[in-house]
């Protein structure tokens, strides 16, 4: 819906489930008439980010209601994402099972293969398995299969980039993540992961830009804890320990945060001379 005033425009955006006619997301953007071109780009960015976050949530909810016997490859994929973003060992196994079922139902479903790469990445990155080497190899293998099927899918390129983190090949990771955000310039998780790679390399300016872009695109992203965690690490790198502690606390308090994020908060608060807060996060490690 577009509302015109004397000096500007207001645009109301809605994402609606065509089956139930339920509104699953909405936003309202305003702009002066002279900034109409900027408003167009903001509309595109908000819509693309909403599609990335809210469609999977709604599809997972619909799949849960439908019952497991009625799940097709698409529904299994979204249920996999639903469990994936909980970042626990049990949920990661459930996510893997749903992605495997999606692949069994549709062997050419590139994003389901990418989902398997993501679960293998988490197995290695979070030490959810005793065999991190096997998980690392699986992360690469599944990402490669996804790319064979759809080399232009941003999520599949994203998982290949993150797989390269596991082998400490940051240059290759940066290239794949740059490719992901080139394919989708509104891909918040791509910008976040690119920013993390820049932080690991020591490029503070690129890290700040990537994090700001990711947060602007997706302020409620499932990986939001990571956005804040990378900023905390950047502040530690630059010696701003008080800011690092604030961002570390924020990261560790964000839904989905895992023990590695608590470790960042622990380190940041220790460097900032806040032993009580550091002790609090130590209990989460």
Q: What is the CATH number of the domain that holds 272?
A: 1.25.40.10
30 and 100 together in one domain: no
pLDDT tens digits, one per residue of 151-163:
999 999 999 999 9
Residues 171 and 217 in one domain: no
* Number of Cα atoms under 13 Å in the Cβ half of residue 203: 14
Token reading at 204: 């503070």
- The helices-and-strands tally (H runs, E runs) of the chain is 13, 3
The string of pLDDT tens digits covering residues 1-39 is: 677 776 777 888 777 877 777 776 777 777 777 777 777
Please give the order of strands across the beta sheet that includes 2-4: 2-4, 8-16, 23-32
Q: What is the largest CA-CA distance in the chain?
A: 65
What confidence score (pLDDT) does residue 38 get? 75
Are 12 and 33 in a shared domain? Answer: yes
Three-class SS state of 184? coil
Read off the tokens for 46.
Answer: 């908000």
Contacts of 171 (CB under 8 A, 6+ apart): none
In a domain, 62, yes or no: no
* Burial of 168 per CB tally in 10 Å (0-12, 13-18, 19+): exposed
- Residue 248 resides in a domain: yes
Q: How many domains does the chain have?
A: 3
Q: Which residues of the chain have pLDDT under 70?
A: 1, 6, 24, 48-49, 57-70
pLDDT score at 31: 78
Are 147 and 201 contained in the same domain?
no
Contact 77, 109 (CB under 8 A): yes
HSE-up (13 A, CA, CB side) for residue 43: 16
Task: Supply the pLDDT for residue 11.
Answer: 81
**Structural domain boundaries, residue 43:** 1-50
Residue 278 · residue 252 · CB < 8 Å:
no
Structure tokens at 8: 């500007």
Give the per-residue pLDDT at 67: 63
């Amino acid at each position: 819906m577009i509302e015109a005033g004397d000096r500007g425009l207001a645009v109301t955006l809605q994402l609606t489930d065509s089956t139930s006619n339920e509104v699953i997301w909405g936003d309202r953007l305003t702009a002066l008439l002279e900034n109409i071109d900027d408003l167009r780009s903001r509309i595109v960015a908000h819509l693309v980010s909403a599609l990335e976050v809210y469609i999977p949530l709604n599809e997972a909810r619909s799949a849960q209601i439908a019952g497991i016997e009625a799940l097709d490859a698409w529904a299994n994929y979204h249920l996999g994402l639903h469990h994936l973003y909980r970042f626990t060992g049990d949920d990661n196994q459930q996510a893997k099972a749903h992605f495997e079922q999606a692949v069994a139902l549709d062997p050419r479903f590139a994003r389901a293969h990418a989902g398997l790469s993501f679960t293998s990445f988490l197995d290695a990155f979070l030490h959810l398995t005793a065999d991190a080497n096997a998980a690392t190899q699986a992360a690469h293998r599944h990402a490669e299969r996804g790319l064979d099927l759809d080399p232009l899918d941003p999520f599949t390129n994203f998982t290949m980039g993150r797989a390269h983190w596991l082998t400490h090949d940051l240059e290759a990771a940066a290239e794949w993540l740059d490719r992901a955000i080139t394919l989708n310039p509104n891909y918040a998780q791509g910008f976040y992961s690119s920013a993390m790679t820049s932080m690991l390399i020591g490029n503070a300016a690129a890290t700040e830009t990537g994090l700001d872009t990711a947060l602007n695109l997706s302020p409620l992203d499932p990986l939001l804890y990571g956005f804040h965690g990378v900023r905390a690490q950047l502040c530690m790198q630059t010696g701003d320990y008080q800011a690092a502690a604030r961002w570390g606390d924020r990261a560790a308090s964000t839904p989905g945060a895992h023990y590695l994020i608590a470790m960042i908060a622990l380190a940041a608060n220790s460097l900032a001379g806040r032993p009580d807060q550091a002790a609090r996060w130590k209990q989460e490690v």
